[in-house]
Structure 1
Amino acid sequence: MARFRSVAIAAAILIALPPHIALAQTAVRTTPADQAAFERRALQLVDLFGGKIAYSAYFDPHFQAAVPEPQFDAFRAGLIAQYGEPVAIDRATAANDRSGTVLLRFERGVATVLLDIGAAADKRVSGLQITGVTVADDSFEKVAAEIAELPGQTGFLVAELDEGTIRPLGSANVDRQFATGSTFKLYILDELAAQVAEGKRRWSDVVPLSHFSFSSAGTANWPAKTPVTLQTLANWMISVSDNGAADTLIHLLGREAIEARMRRAGHSDPSRNIPLLTTVEAFALKGNNFSDLRPAFINGDDAAQRKLLDDNRHRLTLANVDGVSFTAGPRFIDSLEWFASPNDIARLMVDLRARRSKTLLAAMAINNGVGPVAAADWSYLGYKGGSENGVLSMSLLGQRKSDGQWVVVTASWNNSKANVDTGPLIGLVTRLLALAAHAPHAAPAPGTPPAARRP
């Protein structure tokens, strides 16, 4: 089944760490045996990623259940395709009794690996997470070339933000409209924050959970009409990309109000997102159960599309979504989606930051998308991503520690003919973020459109 969801960069790369280990790391005394086990497992990473150690011999049962061997093999193959064969361990640093950080060198990059050793006597690995890969002599040009080689259509923008000015550091296809999946939820967040600032609502307002959808990690199986605060809905919608929270907010704030906010934030082609689909409407119209309505919606103008949604509001519900339709490849990602260009996302980030809402920024920072290592150069890092079959989008808003400069990093990848693999773009976006953290100030590019922000 396709899912409109957030892409958490670090989590999507690979992690299998049970809560009790994460919470108990400092509670157990370090022993020489534990230290030796960490060092031994760290040194084995070269052979593990080189396919010379059996998966079951290296990972404990918990990890094997969380990350099946075919999934790990696909991830390992993706890393090797992008960075070459693993060649050496540059450094292994124990943080406590059974955890630490390992720098694993590949032919074309060095991966930061967080490693956790299980408590069982065999000391197999219970948690492994790659938080980023650095590339020697990296540059925006090198990353741009690799992004361009991905099958399908791609675009990205790395830019410094000063009030309404966007100063590009690196970019490609910045004005092309891409399907972005759940990234559109930032427009909902923007309108919610605007209504709070106008005194129409408060973050602490309690409302009923009124609408349900797929991929709702926060609201799945909750009773209808459960009372929740607006801040809770915003946190769910952004941090875990909860679709039920998003649809509840769309109905509460008003579809047309969010569309107007999108225009004010400077979207260059707002008609692509008008009427703004709820997630369940998008699922329904993409599915086989609504093949009668789909052509009329795709071919209609904004007014006709709005009328179709209104006339069929009692049909376009979760109960009538055909989940079987989404088990294969991309479905209508060029016509039934939420669209934005890299420049549109940059202007949206300007609008979000200009609200000066601590609650808004906090919601975006719950899941910063890259983990603590990649985020170390940033005093603030907010994130929203989106994905479904054939669609991958990642957008970050950060403030550099070195000079306080605000920066946007956004990238999109669409392929209407095949599903896209998260691994390659995740690594490339992480590299863009690292380059942005140390980039010199940029001058505005000739013809760069200013960010638009209106009350």
Structure 2
Amino acid sequence: MRASLHRRLSLATAALACALLPLSTSAQTAAEQTAPTTTAFERRAAQLPDVVAGNMAYDDYFAPAFRAEVPQSRFAAITGSLIAQYGRALSVESVQSADGRSGTLQLRFEKGTATVRLDVGASADERVTGLLITGFAVDGDNFHRIAADLAGLPGATGFLVAEIDGDAIRTIASANADRQYAVGSTFKLYILNELAAQIATGKRRWSDVVPLSHPSFSSVATANWPKDAPVTLQTLANWMISVSDNGAADTLLHLLGRDAIEARMRAAGHSEPSRNIPFLSTVEAFALKGNNFAVERAAFIGADDKAQRRLIDANADRLTLANVDGVSFTAGPRFIGELEWFASPRDIARLMADLRRRNSAPVMAAMAINNGVGPVAAEPWRYLGYKGGSENGVLSMSLLGQRKSDGKWLVVTASWNNPEANVETDRLVGLVTRLLALAAK
């Protein structure tokens, strides 16, 4: 739900939260043209195991621009997570660079191998300007190992890897695939599905211009935009899916109609639709979770669908962005089992299948803007669409892909809920990336 967290998730899935900074091009110097025995890329690549282990000074290895983007404390947290999951970094293998400054390498850990993109700056000190971990292959990996790793996380987890063939969903691997989980912004796929349906009937067009009518909390694309700024429906859809913009989602929800989205959710095969009725906007959910609506929250949680809808309608003029208590969300998970959007892994698979059956180029394009896992993990896939969701104690990642090898369509989806503590983005990213790698085979 929280776009800021979704954005962090998107960055983490692409780079395990490392940063890739662009390099400026410069002409080769005479010294570079003499082809030294080793290149700047090779020298810095060879030092990477020591950097990961903390045996080399951070400032000596990374350029100021990189350090500004990724402080040493953040880098240490990332490498600590990697070491905890995969053991010590041992050696560098398979170094490849066309220009001696930028390229890829394989970084061998005790339990697997990371694919790393490394960029060395053009300055004389040859400090690194970009480091991107784009994939991880675990030695001897299989679905049973990943299921065990997921089960070992604190809280509740579930996943599904399945092939989609028309209406059929064929399970390849799963655990707790029929359990309902809080899925955060993954709910926005139901809004996308209803938007595509209304466009298919001719009620709307992707090019329709509408006002940005409902600004929301923690919106990446529309933060501080003036209310009622004109935008197209396709722009709203792209923002809602690619950067999980909450203002775009709420604008579309109110435009399309809450009842219509709920009906679309049922039609897409949600196994417990009442969990999401009434289908809350992000502002409504944020407001009800906050300290300003404690009385209304208790009434909402204890009510049936009809009474919940009456409560939302009766407080429509109060459940607004101005009354969202942002401070409430700084201490950890809040009511993630009662006030959220819910789906099982199998529900998400049915939703992905429904979206694919629409054969809508704008829908598929919106889902592919941010594929969630980066270029290396996406390489075996002809198409890869993604939607993630997160808030305190909630993390969900869902992908729809078509394999290059045989053209088959698959869904990979996983959710992790912990009402007691925030969940670790990097850990689920690594596990889902492993699921995707196995699904690609």
TM-score by length of 1: 0.92
Q: Distance in 2 between matches of 1:124 and 1:160?
A: 45
Partner amino acid, structure 1, of 2:77 = A
1:448 matched to which residue of 2? none
Change (3 A) 1:33 1:365: farther
- Counterpart residue number, 1:449: none
Give 1:265-414 correspondences, 5 Å limit: 265-414=268-417
Root-mean-square deviation over aligned CA pairs: 1.7
1:50 aligns with 2:53: yes
Q: Judge conservation of contact 2:13–2:426 (CA < 8 Å) in 1.
A: no
Deviation at 1:106, TM superposition (A): 0.4
Is the Cα–Cα contact under 8 Å of residues 34 and 98 in structure 1 kept in the other structure?
no
> Which letter does structure 1 place at the counterpart of 2:440?
A
Deviations 1:412-446 (A, max 9, x none): 000000000111111110011010001xxxxxxxx
Cα distance in 2, alignment partners of residues 259 and 12 from structure 1: 35
What amino acid is aligned across from residue 123 of structure 2 in structure 1?
A
> Distance between the aligned counterparts of 1:95 and 1:217, measured in 2?
36
Q: 1:370 to 1:95 in 2, by over 3 A?
A: farther
Residue of structure 1 equivalent to 2:6: 5
Q: Distance in 2 between matches of 1:135 and 1:12?
A: 17
Q: CA deviation at 1:33?
A: 6.7
Distance 1:274 1:424 in 2: 31
Identity among equivalent pairs (%)? 68
Distance between the aligned counterparts of 1:356 and 1:96, measured in 2? Answer: 42
Determine if contact 2:17/2:426 at 8 Å carries over to the other structure: no
1:137 is matched with which residue? 140
1:10–1:130 contact (8 Å) kept in structure 2: no
Q: Distance in 1 between the 2:181 and 2:254 partners?
A: 25
Aligned position for 1:442: none
The structural deviation recorded for 1:116 is 1.3
Does the C-alpha gap of structure 1 residues 329 and 28 become closer, same or farther in structure 2, counting only changes over 3 Å? farther
Question: Deviating runs (4+, > 6 A) in structure 1?
Answer: none
Task: Note the 1:117-128 alignment, pairs <5 A.
Answer: 117-128=120-131
More deviation in 401-410 or 36-45?
36-45
CA deviation string 1:49-88 (max 9, x = no partner): 1111122221111111111221111111110111111111
Aligned-pair CA distance for 1:239: 0.5
What is the deviation of 1:403? 0.3
Query: 1:378-404 deviations in whole A, cap 9, x for unaligned?
Result: 000000001111011000000000000
Structure 1 34/366 Cα, relative in aligned 2: closer, same or farther at 3 Å? farther
Give the paired residue count: 434
State which of 236, 239, 260 in structure 2 corresponds to 1:236: 239
Task: Output the amino acid matched with 2:392.
Answer: N
- More deviation, 242-251/45-54: 45-54
8 Å Cα contact 1:13/1:75 also seen in 2: yes
What TM-score comes out, normalization by structure 2 length? 0.95
Deviations 1:92-133 (A, max 9, x none): 111435211111010001001111112332121111111110
Deviation of 1:171 (Å): 0.5
| CA-CA distance at 1:29 after TM superposition | 4.3
Contact 1:35 1:94 in 2 (8 A): no
Query: Which segment drifts farther, 87-96 or 192-201?
Result: 87-96
Query: Please, which moves more after superposition, 54-63 or 192-201?
Result: 54-63
Determine if contact 1:4/1:181 at 8 Å carries over to the other structure: no
Distance 1:215 1:35, change over 3 A: farther
- Please list every run of 5 or more consecutive structure 1 residues that lacks an aligned counterpart in the other structure: 439-455
**Is 2:176 the partner of 1:170?**
no
Amino acid across the alignment from 1:134: A
1:271 & 1:130 partners in 2: Cα distance?
41
Q: For the residues of structure 2 that align with 1:60 and 1:308, how far apart are their CA atoms?
A: 55
**Does 2:172 correspond to 1:159?**
no
Q: Is the 8 A contact 1:83 1:109 kept in 2?
A: yes
How many angstroms apart in 1 are the aligned matches of 2:344 and 2:324? 29
1:16-64 per-position Cα deviation (integer Å, ceiling 9, x unaligned): 2345x2xx45x65483479721111111111111111122221111111
Structure 1's 358 and 52: CA in aligned 2 closer, same or farther, altered over 3 A? same
